[in-house]
Amino acid sequence: MLTVFVTGLAVGMLYAAIALAYNVMFSTSKVLSLTTGHLAMLGGVFGAWFIQAWQMPWWLAMLGSVAVGALFGLVTELLAIRRVLNKSDEHLWLLSTLAVATMVQQGVALWWGTEPKPFPRLFAQDFGVGVLDQKFWLPIGATIVMAIGLSLFYRRTMYGKLFVAMSEDAFAARARGISTDRIRMLSYVLSGALGGLAGFAAGQLTFAFFALGHLLTLNGFIALAVGGLGSNLGALLGGAILGLLNAFASYWFGGEYQQTIAVGILLLVLLVKPEGMFGSRNVRPV
Amino acid sequence: MNAPTSGLKPYALAVGALLVVALPWLAGDQYQLHLAALIAVYWILVAGLNLVIGYTGQISIGHVGLLAIGAYSFTILTGKLEWHPGLAVLVAGAVCGLCGLALGLPSLRLPGFYFAMATMAFALIVNELVLANDGWTGGGIGMPVDIFPAPFDTPVGYYYLVVMVALAVTLLTWNVVRHMWGLGLVSIRDTEVTAQAVGVPIFRVKLTIFVFSGIAAGVSGALFASLQSYITPDTFVFELSLFFFVSIIIGGRGSIVGPLLGTAVLTALPELVAPLAKLGNFFYGLLLLVVVLVVPEGIGRVFEVLQERWKPRKVANETVQPDLVRLQRALAEPGASGAAPPATALRKPALGEQA
């Protein structure tokens, strides 16, 4: 039973990390990018590649994964977001991020192969330790560090405050002389780094697998929608709830209906409380 | 809005129809005929989806789930329950219409990204359910599909069958978009708030169109299964949704001919050009990105621009001469001229005065 709980929590924290990455991007651009899950997929795949093919120590591989994630975030912003936001058509960013997500997924599939490959162990550890295994506490720890780091970043640093200003009112921020384009680019780099780190930390749990992206995009979004768009605390709680419910549901009913349950939760939350647990209701259609 | 449709010359239509009818003789081998039938089958789904994406602007990336439901319903009905295939196609369409209703009722209330996610989740759920209920669906191994009886059991006969169905669906969608319904759909796509303000029942319109696209997807799925003759969950990968999607976006939103050409070209191109087949979905993704960044209105727009350049539309310059004499007279004494309404008609009836 404890194993089920810890597994659920670890998976949930991975979803929460994706939700955090969504939040960072959403705060500056009001875009929910379909590439978000692919950030973590890249982190996992490149982490495994760095360690196995290049024989890097784990910390260097981690930095490499974070760098790959950040780079992909930057590319997404330059390719799919910048020009589309200038055109200000509501749906276009959905299409362009879907295109970028597909391209990176197929690129990884062609290069890395379509089979899930095991992620190497980062620390020497006995396999018999059960719930204390690194594959559980690595994603949990990484996500908690991320959430605390983000909170400090937003409150203590100049750039963090610029992010907050832009998420409150982009036009006002621009009027005050903030280069909103640069801040948006930085937010995509930051969110890419977070996603890459999450994918690296959860690599032993998820394996290095090219098709993870869409699944993580969906589940991270469900965590975010349950917790409330824009709230980091909500992202953590939403992720935890989703992961735990999934784990216990597959423990009791069998693993066949995992996505069905997750999506059931999503629809229920959206119909009953569309703004999520901690989100702010913001209705302004005109 | 639908300039490509209305600008189509009758002789182009006639040539197209002749080409479609004569294709079994023109096609070099069975494989090309199979490809032509596949295009028609995909088009049945895309025609319905086009109303959802191209006209109403609702980004559904889960139609592959409806395609799978149609295919599996058809296979189970004909294989396990031994129904007549023709009846099974209709029932598969009805089943998918109901599934579209069940999916659309909650999710069409949601704004753009949420709706896209709900439909994507739907596609994943369908795959999961297919794998879980292997007693009915054959699980990951899949199962063989019956073919149609007598006149349609040859490749040529089957080709004519799917082309007829595709034609019927095209006529239906064409009829929808060229009347008030089409304008309502476009108004929802362009500005939902304004559409609501002028009295378009947004949710009802969206739901009706979505259910219609579900029925089309079901019929398409049934014919698709029969064409493939063996189906597994691997047939209905998520990327197939992307393919439908790209066909519509490339062809142009708000047009019927554009997506039709898009479907035909995108189905045939990777089969005929070998390197593209290897790149597969990467190619679709790249195409989608290029179109979104360069010509968001679709390739059809490029043709319109080129046509404009080669053969500029004549804009007649007519100077309007104001009839100053009559205007002056009307302004001077209202009621004197025949053009202005008599003043008594505008006067409010006083109390006690009954008409």
- DSSP E strands in chain B: the ranges are 143-144, 230-231
pLDDT at B175: 92
- Beta-carbon pairs below 8 A across chains A and B: 110
Q: CA–CA separation, B278 vs B270, rounded Å? A: 8
What's the whole-number mean pLDDT along residues B48-71?
Answer: 92
- Phi, psi of A115, rounded to the nearest 5 degrees: -90, 145
- B132–chain A Cβ distance below 8 A for any pair: yes
pLDDT at A282: 64
Residues 188-207 of B with CB under 8 A from A: 192-193
The one-character DSSP state at B297 is: T
Q: CA–CA separation, B56 vs A43, rounded Å? A: 37
Q: CA–CA separation, B261 vs B141, rounded Å? A: 34
Cα B211 to chain centroid distance, Å, stands at 12
* Chain A residue with Cα closest to B117: A218
CB < 8 Å to A257, chain B:
128-129, 132
Interface test with A, best of B61, B64, B108, B113 (most A CBs within 10 A): B113
Tokens 């992307």: give the residue.
Answer: B242
Residue count of chain B, please give it.
355
A260 with B116: Cβ contact below 8 A: no
> What's the ipTM?
0.87
- A146–chain B Cβ distance below 8 A for any pair: no
B288 with A262: Cβ contact below 8 A: no
pTM value? 0.83
Nearest 5°: the CA angle A101, A102, A103 is: 95
Q: What is the pLDDT of residues B221-268, one digit of tens each?
A: 999 999 988 999 888 888 888 889 889 988 888 888 889 989 998 888
Residue B176 confidence (pLDDT) above 70:
yes
Q: What is the pLDDT of residues B286-336, one digit of tens each?
A: 988 998 888 887 777 777 788 878 877 777 777 888 888 888 888 887 655
Q: Helix B299-310 to helix B257-272 angle, to the nearest 10 degrees?
A: 110
CB < 8 Å to A101, chain B:
285
What does each C-alpha distance from B12 to A106, A235, A245, B170, B178 come to in angstroms?
38, 56, 58, 17, 20
* Alpha-helix residue ranges (DSSP H) falling in A77-114: 82-87, 92-112
First to last CA, chain A: 50
What's the whole-number mean pLDDT along residues B105-109?
Answer: 88
Q: CA–CA separation, B177 vs B194, rounded Å? A: 19
Q: CA–CA separation, A151 vs A231, rounded Å? A: 11
Interface test with A, best of B64, B289, B294, B295 (most A CBs within 10 A): B289
Mean pLDDT over all residues of chain A? 89
DSSP-based three-state secondary structure for A117: strand
> SS3 for A217-242, per residue?
HHHHHHHHHHHCCCCHHHHHHHHHHH
Residue B2 confidence (pLDDT) above 70:
no
Cα A239 to chain centroid distance, Å, stands at 11
Model confidence at B80, in pLDDT bands (50, 70, 90)?
A: confident
CB < 8 Å to A222, chain B:
117, 121
Amino acid identity at A9: L
